[in-house]
Structure 1
Amino acid sequence: MTGLVFAVVILAAALHAAWNALVKGGADKSAAMVAVVVGQGLFGAALLPFVPFPAAESWPYLAGSVVLHMLYQVFLMQSYRFGDLTQVYPIARGVAPLLVALTSAFILGVTFSSLEIAAVAMISIGIASVSLVRRGDGIVQGKAAVLALITGCFIAAYSVTDGLGARQAGTALGYYGVLSALDAVIFAGLARVWRPGLLGRSIALKRTLFLGGGASFIAYALVVWAFTQAPIALVTALRETSIIFALMIGVFLLGERLSLAKVLSTALTLAGAVLLRVGRA
């Protein structure tokens, strides 16, 4: 992983945490989630005239990814209804790197150095352990934890799918432009049928629509490009260091509690990111 790819994924991690905080901090979390998805679709549609169209070999991946992204969005939306950002986010993001690494090793045949394996493990444990400190507060939301775990499985699934799809597409931006536009159209249609009035409330959230949608689009566009430059598992693990940014946002902007355990968990995640950079270098 080059220094450029490393920096790009860290930037994507910060943007990813920012839009998650917008969804969690909103009074109507369902409307906020739909607004982010529609917003990223608008950015994707605006990009399409300026980038190549993805090759036909990537279309099956696109179709599967649209389904996986929609399931991820639904479960994330439900997770935030029951749990804090500092509980839901670590579980959902912590399980993904391990699942992607296992898939890469046992299904895709990717080999990793011992340092890279240790780095992925440290990042995953560091992220997931943040959620465990809620037990000390006595307010663990069990339903939120289960929903977040399922969300993490979908994150792993769409990460592998998009990594392979972008490589087949021949254009990372073209691939994600089509993906985000399709995702927005279908998700908006489902939202309109599922909850009448939800789509209208979402579009009215202009800040979330444009800022959240824009942050989400840029964040994942950078990640999809990185998938074509470095092993999918390593990009996924590094992207999940967004927990560091999510923790800061949760504490300083959303008023969630900070503890020594959270600080130590974040430090372990950061150490894993550093080790990942050293291992690939």
Structure 2
Amino acid sequence: MSILALALIIVSAFMHATWNYLAKRSEGGDTFVWLYMVVSLLVYAPFVIGFIVLQGVQIGWLEVGFMAGSALIHLAYSLLLQKGYKVGDLSLIYPICRGTGPLIVAVAAFFIYGEKLSAAGIIGILLITFSIFVITGGLDAIKKASTLVPVSYGLLIGVMIASYTLLDKGAVSVVMMQPLILIYGSIVFQALILTPFVVRDWQRVRQEWREHKQEAIGVGILNQLAYILVLIAMTFTPVSHVAPVREMSILIGTILGSFMLKEGFGIRRIAAACTMVAGVITIALQ
């Protein structure tokens, strides 16, 4: 992995953990998701227009199809994430979903893109699996409904992460779509899908904006920028390397949840997050 790719992914990891912290603090639903998507559309519109004009980007039906597919998976991911943060801690759900995502990607990329999975990669997968077990509090804790529900959300969100990572990897490295165009087109589709459901209760939209305006703006900017940096790295780096390294955000997110939001199991979750980071880096270095 090149120094440039590593730098892009590390910056992205800090942005990603920060916007998840803001999303957890808002504890919003579909209205909050719609609001930060509108912010993204407004903020990035000048860059997208300028890019299309200067580069003469051509968008055909194949590109539109990838945008639509990416939008559906990303929207499911966003809504599940907000729901998960309502029922569980940031320091529990965030590490689980971010840890299982690259685990699935590493295995799936072997079959889909022919990327190698060595002994080091297998060790990394085992470390991630062990970390998830520890971070939840062990087998007894998992059996409790209070832990089982958020853990289930975390695992399901991880599946969504793996799905959109693999699809978007194909878009930027096989179809050669520009990351900025792919992401912006995906946001447009997501906003269009959510709009009919959200505008039915405009009073709730105004209240959500009044109470969580700063969070919506922060997520709207950082969410997309963090992923654009990752997609840029994917254009010249194997997805099975990019996906694990970006999960350095696991440790950052766990620390934010444990200390900033004063969630329980602080030391245990941070220790497990460190082991998980070691696992994802092992996969990246395979």
Pairs within 5 Å for 1:91-170: 91-123=96-128, 125-126=130-131, 129-132=134-137, 135=141, 140-167=146-173, 168-170=175-177
Quote the residue 2:276 is aligned against.
269
Number of residue pairs matched? 277
Q: 2:236 aligns with which of 226, 229, 234?
A: 229
**Alpha-carbon deviation of 1:106?**
1.9
Q: 1:62 aligns with which of 60, 63, 67?
A: 67
Report the CA distance shift for 1:237/1:191 in structure 2 as closer, same or farther (over 3 A).
farther
Structure 1 residues 163-202: aligned runs within 5 Å: 163-167=169-173, 168-193=175-200, 197-202=203-208
Counterpart CA distance in 2 for 1:185 and 1:128 is: 38
Contact 2:12 / 2:230 at 8 angstroms: preserved in 1?
yes
163-172 or 14-23, larger mean C-alpha shift: 163-172
SS in 1 for 2:116: coil
Q: Which residue of 1 aligns with 2:33?
A: 33
* 2:18 equivalent in structure 1: 18
Output the TM-score relative to the length of structure 1: 0.86
**How far off is 1:247 after superposition?**
1.0
Q: Could you tell me how far apart the structure 1 residues matched to 2:126 and 2:59 are? A: 35
**Structure 2 gap segments, 5+ residues each:** none
CA contact (8 A) 1:188 1:199 kept: no
Give the Cα separation in 1 of the matches to 2:58 and 2:121. 31
Q: Residues 214-264 of structure 1: CA distance to partner in whole angstroms, max 9, x if unpaired? A: 111111111111221211122112222211111111122111124442232
- The residue matched to 2:136 in structure 1 has which SS? helix
RMSD: 2.7
- The separation in 2 between residues aligned to 1:108 and 1:229, in whole angstroms, is 14
C-alpha distance in 2, partners of 1:191/1:177? 20
TM-score normalised according to structure 2 size: 0.84
Deviations 1:112-145 (A, max 9, x none): 3433443354345435642346929x78432222
Runs of 4+ in 1 over 6 A off after TM superposition: none
Partner of residue 88, structure 1: 93
Task: Tell me which residue corresponds to 2:217.
Answer: 210
**Amino acid in structure 1 at the alignment position of 2:24:** K
Which residue identity is paired with 1:179?
Answer: S
**Equivalent residue letter for 2:40:** Q
1:43-68 C-alpha deviation (Å, 9 max, x unpaired): 33332112244643432221111111
| 1:76 matched residue in structure 2 | 81
CA separation of 1:65 and 1:28: change in aligned 2, threshold 3 A: closer
Segment of structure 1 superposing worse, 151-160 or 232-241 = 232-241
Within the alignment, does 1:257 sit opposite 2:259 as a pair? no
Alpha-carbon deviations, 1:62-96, whole Å to 9, x = none?
11111111111121121112111112212222221
